[in-house]
A and B are shown apart, each in its own frame.
Chain A
Amino acid sequence: MPDALRQFADTYLMWQEGPMIWISDVLILLTSIGIVATLTYFKKWKWLWREWLTTVDHKKIGIMYLIAALLMMFRGGADGLLMRTQLAAPGMHFLDAEHYDQIFTTHGTIMILFMAMPFIFALFNIVVPLQIGARDVAFPYLNAISFWLFFFGALLLNISFVFGGSPDAGWTSYPPLSELGFDNGPGENFYLLALQISGIGSIATGINFLVTILRMRAPGMTLMKMPLFTWSVLSACIMIIFAFPALTVALALLMLDRIVGTHFFTILQGGNPMMFINLFWIWGHPEVYIVVVPAFGVFSEVVATFARKRIFGYTSMVAALLSISVISYFVWAHHFFTMGAGADVNTFFAVATMAVGIPTGVKVFNWLFTMYRGRIRMTLPMLWTIAFVPCFVIGGATGVMLAVAPADYQYHNSYFLIAHFHQVLIGGVVFGMLAGMYYWWPKMFGFKLDERLGRWAFWFFNIGFYVCFMPQYALGFMGMQRRMYTYPADMGWGTLNFVSTIGAYLMGIGFIFIVAQVLYSIKYGERDLTGDPWDGRTLEWSLPSPVPHYNFAVIPTVTSRDYWWTLKEEGRTDEIKPKPEDIQPIHMPKNSGRPFLMGVLFFVAGLGFVFNWHVLAVLGLLGVVVTMLRRSFEYDDEYYIQPEEIQHVESALGRL
């Protein structure tokens, strides 16, 4: 028995890997015990199940996405700091090569798929139905399934660190390195299954919000009266629906190669590894626009609100969003210019890539013209927006440098590239999501986040960002390649790498300030009693904060763009408040535990495939089928909120 136990510990728990795993084990154990003990002590299990795990309310799902995104930002950030620590000086032995590979793989995968994606979905969920005057998304039950598939996908990837081993072939997972012959550990399977499971959820979210925006707008809100954030979500959804299937196919084929023994990407049997790279980037390039376009939407809302002006060039903003979503499909080969496809292919994709800069440039100028002669209030959302502009412009310019195919042979996979994509993804997505979080936080929770701590976070993070990534452009020119775990002293890279590491730690301190800010503000944050703390322009600010679970007691009829602003200007804000005689019973979906259960079953099936435990995999998938069948024969899944209850809630909020 002890032998069997020892073998289990060595194979699955990786106890020979050293103190990092042991510390993680202990921390995970302590955190889990802490959570369970707290929930039991305060008798909150029932509350957790009823209010959160089974909810189909878009606002609560959005909040769960937000929490998950922040946790994942912590994990991904910790990975980043580990890497920067290893690279701080030449010839370091802080991490060995294998651990370094695992850490950069999880860092990239987590930051793109399990931090950026849930962060944008958080804002989709919290904001879109409120902005368009809807009571929920088009498919609330599917929305819950999407969340739980994301959640258990993320859990599957994260658990690999302490159970079986992390993936180590890079977040792009290129074959032949990611094939069985070179990488036979379970880590790569974890990557494939985790992405596959959360990817199903992402496609469903894309469909859900596309239908919500097209079919559930309040009467009178024509497409050209929609707020720009909603437009940006529409643009992102179009990209999600068309791009994610390519990832699904690429991952499925690689999984077949690894589990069944096919040869889609192994060159010896007539397969073609470059086809994986081709498929991966057919998804991968639109993906970066999927995460950045909602950030553009946030900036449009924030700039208009805090400059107290309507957005400059609304129509051109919409045109830019839509053309970005179309052109983003014609640029993917720029990720492998050096493959050798020839001058004609490279020329086409180089020109297409540069063309994306045009609509993006239009947007930047529109934001600047909106700010021009506006009365700008330097609140936290506005600070992050203003920091975004120069950061993204530099990132865009270096992007155009990379788009020049012949020059790319020099920059390809160097630290120049690393600096470029961190600049657009942090400067664009992270700044945008943080701006959005600060902006809509009072709408979610009913209080503002503390301004003073937020400014500390802002300055640490921003200065840290430039200190961290500007040296990396230079390192790229000096020949430093990405994914090197160490470098010799005589390359002369030591100083710049050290500076870069300092910057990374400054960003880490910035993140700690954000955490402190959230904790502090829960107790001391300025309460929002008006529902309109920023003097906003769009419909969500006409509601109380936090919003009652049916959103609108009476659906408003919209007559202009920035309708709430129009009402305020004309002194007609009382018109949007519900009148007792207008209140009808509201049709709502019932909560359900099945989406959560489905996530668990997908997780079980995923774990089965990861370790080739076929019985477990089949059982998990059977469970999924059973839950789907049960759902198909469920008829009693809706209920009505009666007018008396609505009147009660509304008068308690002082709106009747």
Chain B
Amino acid sequence: MAAHGHAEQHHGGPVAAHEHHGAGKYIVGYIASLVLTAIAFWLALGHHMAGGPLALTLLILGGLQIVVQLFFFMHVTEGDGPPFHSVGLLLGLIFTFAIALMSIWIMSFHYQVQ
């Protein structure tokens, strides 16, 4: 579907290009993302850490989720053509950290009456 028109003439059609993926990679990715989510939930619900380190740990776990998504589901390493995705990833990285870290920074004022 992705490439009808002229782009499709370069390879043997969109279906053929993706046939070599087995289910294994997807299952590993699925389990990995489940495990990461479970750890995050366990840490947040069980009050196992202090606020600051907890936030940092959750950020790292969130970052790992992105990595799992990119490598196991989106196959970032297997593109043809110009490496647009590396620019996209860099931009995504900047935005993600800007949004996550700056939100913490903005919201760290004492909003609740103590």
Q: A134-B5, A138-B3, A211-B2 are in contact. Are A242 and B92 (CB under 8 A)?
A: yes
Shortest Cβ distance from A339 into B: residue? B109
What are 11 A-to-B residue pairs whose CB atoms are below 8 Å?
A139-B1, A140-B1, A211-B2, A216-B6, A278-B106, A326-B91, A329-B98, A333-B102, A333-B106, A345-B109, A555-B6
How many A-B residue pairs lie within 8 Å, measured between CB atoms? 76
* A493 interface hit (Cβ, 8 Å): no
* A390 interface hit (Cβ, 8 Å): no
Give every chain B residue within 8 A of A218 (Cβ-Cβ): 6
Residue from the list B82, B99, B112 in contact with A267, Cβ < 8 A? B112
Chain A: minimal CB distance from B44 (Å): 12
Distance, CA A315 to CA B20, complexed state (A) = 42
* A588 interface hit (Cβ, 8 Å): yes
**Cβ–Cβ contact B109 & A340, under 8 A:** yes
**Cβ–Cβ contact A272 & B5, under 8 A:** no
Among B106, B107, B109, residue most surrounded by chain A Cβ atoms (within 10 Å) = B106
In the A-B complex, the 9 residue pairs with the closest CB atoms: A135-B5, A587-B4, A242-B95, A341-B109, A555-B6, A214-B84, A341-B106, A345-B106, A333-B106
Residue from the list A216, A242, A340 in contact with B7, Cβ < 8 A? A216
Give every chain B residue within 8 A of A138 (Cβ-Cβ): 2-3
* A638 interface hit (Cβ, 8 Å): yes
Shortest Cβ distance from A278 into B: residue? B103
Chain B: minimal CB distance from A353 (Å): 14
CB within 8 Å of A: which B67-114 residues: 81-82, 84, 91-92, 94-95, 98-99, 102-103, 105-107, 109, 111-112
Shortest Cβ distance from B14 into A: residue? A638
CB within 8 Å of B: which A320-343 residues: 326, 329-330, 333, 339-342
Chain B: minimal CB distance from A286 (Å): 9
Residue from the list B84, B91, B92, B107 in contact with A275, Cβ < 8 A? B107
**Cβ–Cβ contact A555 & B3, under 8 A:** no
Distance, CA A339 to CA B1, complexed state (A) = 48
**Residues of chain B having any CB pair with chain A under 8 Å:** 1-8, 81-82, 84, 91-92, 94-95, 98-99, 102-103, 105-107, 109, 111-112
CB within 8 Å of B: which A227-275 residues: 238, 242, 246, 267, 272, 274-275
* A648 interface hit (Cβ, 8 Å): no
Distance, CA A139 to CA B1, complexed state (A) = 6
Give every chain A residue within 8 A of B1 (Cβ-Cβ): 139-141, 589, 637-638
Q: A141-B1, A238-B91, A329-B99 are in contact. Are A219 and B6 (CB under 8 A)?
A: yes
What 1/0 flags go to A386-425 for Cβ under 8 Å of B? 0000000000000000000000000000000000000000
**Cβ–Cβ contact B5 & A139, under 8 A:** no
- Chain A contributes a number of interface residues (CB within 8 A of B) equal to 39
Chain A: minimal CB distance from B19 (Å): 13
Chain A: minimal CB distance from B63 (Å): 15
Q: A274-B107, A278-B103, A341-B109 are in contact. Are A329 and B95 (CB under 8 A)?
A: yes
What 1/0 flags go to A128-151 for Cβ under 8 Å of B? 000000111011110000000000
* A215 interface hit (Cβ, 8 Å): yes
Among A140, A215, A326, A586, residue most surrounded by chain B Cβ atoms (within 10 Å) = A215
Distance, CA A282 to CA B111, complexed state (A) = 19
Give every chain B residue within 8 A of A216 (Cβ-Cβ): 3, 5-7
Chain B: minimal CB distance from A221 (Å): 11
Give every chain A residue within 8 A of B103 (Cβ-Cβ): 275, 278-279, 282
Give every chain A residue within 8 A of B107 (Cβ-Cβ): 272, 274-275, 278, 341
Give every chain A residue within 8 A of B105 (Cβ-Cβ): 345
CB within 8 Å of B: which A112-160 residues: 134-136, 138-141
Give every chain B residue within 8 A of A272 (Cβ-Cβ): 107, 111
Distance, CA A140 to CA B112, complexed state (A) = 49
**Cβ–Cβ contact B111 & A274, under 8 A:** yes
Give every chain B residue within 8 A of A140 (Cβ-Cβ): 1, 4
**Cβ–Cβ contact B99 & A282, under 8 A:** yes
Residue from the list A141, A342, A555, A637 in contact with B109, Cβ < 8 A? A342
Q: A214-B84, A267-B112, A282-B103 are in contact. Are A330 and B2 (CB under 8 A)?
A: no
Distance, CA A298 to CA B76, complexed state (A) = 34
**Cβ–Cβ contact B5 & A555, under 8 A:** yes
CB within 8 Å of B: which A483-537 residues: none
Give every chain A residue within 8 A of B94 (Cβ-Cβ): 326
Give every chain B residue within 8 A of A135 (Cβ-Cβ): 4-6
